[in-house]
Structure 1
């Protein structure tokens, strides 16, 4: 795995831990971080030893607070980010092209977000495309775009896949005037588990290791099928599903599973 300046990526027991590492700016992303996150997704895509991924932020104050406005004000930034390229407005750059694991990098290994503080604005580029979210009790979620005079566009588009319409509208329109608690985010389905801050890593590790222990092809085909169901019409998704079932059938893996079942061996399970 390459060395990064703005993120860390460590692997253990089939699980990659990706940590956004700019705590001095609440893990806000600049151009370098965007490029490194994208490069990391691509590298993990090619690493067959990695079967599950946990995404989190350094420290306990913030998961990610979106775009680092200070970095954008850099005189060199307009040549790289958010500006029109060419004679028409159809070739503007946007971090949505680099940050999301699915549309940005075609990464179909499961990604779990461990949210350890504030998550706002551009953080939803990533949270909108993870498989599920585990949050510390002190985590908060909000989108300040309208308060700063900007339209919230890609963030609510992505979050509509995991939040009810009214909640997306309220979060987008209230801007910096209101934040969702971790508990409220759990109630509306944005977050799947809320734990004390000191237990966040343990909870994420437990889920990631369980997923990583299962056959990779079955897991990744499951991830792809659920996202197809989100992206396609119902009938189209069912048709594609038939192909995914055939692609995911591996005789050796299925035989091993049948032997384990026949032997009476079962994984230890817990109620949630």
Structure 2
């Protein structure tokens, strides 16, 4: 298996395990990732996802251009996953928080997967980039449509039109990264974010994620007028009552996800 899935205490850790290829994604790896996302979506016990790459060199270098299964031209365009690179860059059906644990280079499709994460924690030596134009390709599995929505247009254009890399500190400055830490502190930093996430009501988190995703393109007035099913479900849930009761009783809430 080129992707590992570990489920423990409501946390799904997904690790791309091709360190000898900088965790580049070939067809087999892409299929495994898609299968894993579907499995996580069907598992109501999952409260948080951590996505990372094996080894210390790279989170993911994107598409494996050395793979014999790598497509090109119109075949490449036709083979793009509608959920974005790695099945996660622009996925609309996974409603649990995703933490990107970036332990090195995140390039091409690797960066597109970063764009699909809700929270991103990176080592201080991590590097981000969309170098597709350098090899006659396009960052079309999420990059071209998402990056300029997350950072200033000129910065996004500069990255994509030159293939240059952005440092972790620059990425944090522009809001692509939540925290930058020394490599030795990466596990501990991610663990604190996971702990905070799982302490929150799962239906509230699902509604927040859904609202961010579905209303980012709308004005505040238009977004405020939308009653998403996930919002109503969270407000009318047993957990909504439990949260207030636990606060009044000065105890930790017991979330049931219903």
Interval containing the TM-score (normalised by the shorter chain): 0.7 to 0.9
Q: Does structure 1 residue 25 correspond to structure 2 residue 12?
A: no
Deviation at 1:247, TM superposition (A): 2.1
1:69 partnered with 2:56: no
Q: Does the CA contact (< 8 Å) of 2:89 and 2:114 recur in 1? A: no
- Classify 1:107/1:58 alpha carbon distance in 2 versus 1 (closer, same or farther; 3 Å): same
Q: What does residue 133 of structure 1 align with?
A: 120
- Which residues of 2 match residues 225-240 of structure 1 at below 5 A? 225-232=211-218, 234-240=220-226
- In structure 2, the residue matched to 1:270 is none
1:262 equivalent to 2:248? Answer: yes
Greater mean deviation of Cα atoms: 7-16 or 153-162: 153-162
Counterpart check, 1:208 vs 2:187: no
- Distance in 1, matches of 2:238 and 2:108, equals 45
Match of 2:101 in 1: 114
> In the TM superposition, what is the alpha-carbon distance from 1:17 to its structure 2 partner?
0.6
Q: Quick one: which of 146, 151, 154 aligns to 1:163? A: 151
TM superposition shift of 1:266: 7.1
Q: Aligned partners of 1:122, 1:97: CA distance in 2, in Å? A: 12
Whole-angstrom distance in 1 between the partners of 2:123 and 2:207:
29
Residues 81-107 of structure 1 show CA distances to partners (whole Å, capped at 9, x for unaligned) of 45647xxx9x81114546243744611
Q: Check conservation: 2:52, 2:103, Cα contact below 8 A.
A: yes
The 5-angstrom pairing of residues 34-183 of structure 1 reads: 34-71=30-67, 74=68, 77=69, 81-82=71-72, 84=74, 92-95=78-81, 97=83, 99-101=86-88, 103-104=90-91, 106-153=93-140, 154-175=142-163, 178-183=164-169
Q: Which runs of 5+ in 1 are unaligned?
A: 268-272
1:241, 1:198 → 2: CA distance? 44
1:249 to 208, 216, 235: 235
> Is residue 2:190 matched to residue 1:198?
no
How many pairs align?
251
Could you tell me how far apart the structure 2 residues matched to 1:182 and 1:25 are?
22
Do the aligned residues in 2 keep the contact of 1:13 with 1:209 (CA within 8 Å)? Answer: no
- The structure-2 alpha-carbon separation of the partners of 1:214 and 1:151, relative to structure 1 and needing over 3 Å to count, comes to closer
Whole-angstrom distance in 2 between the partners of 1:8 and 1:163: 31
**Cα pair distance change 1:84/1:140, threshold 3 Å:** closer
- In structure 2, relative to structure 1, the CA distance for the partners of 1:96 and 1:262 (3 Å cut) is same
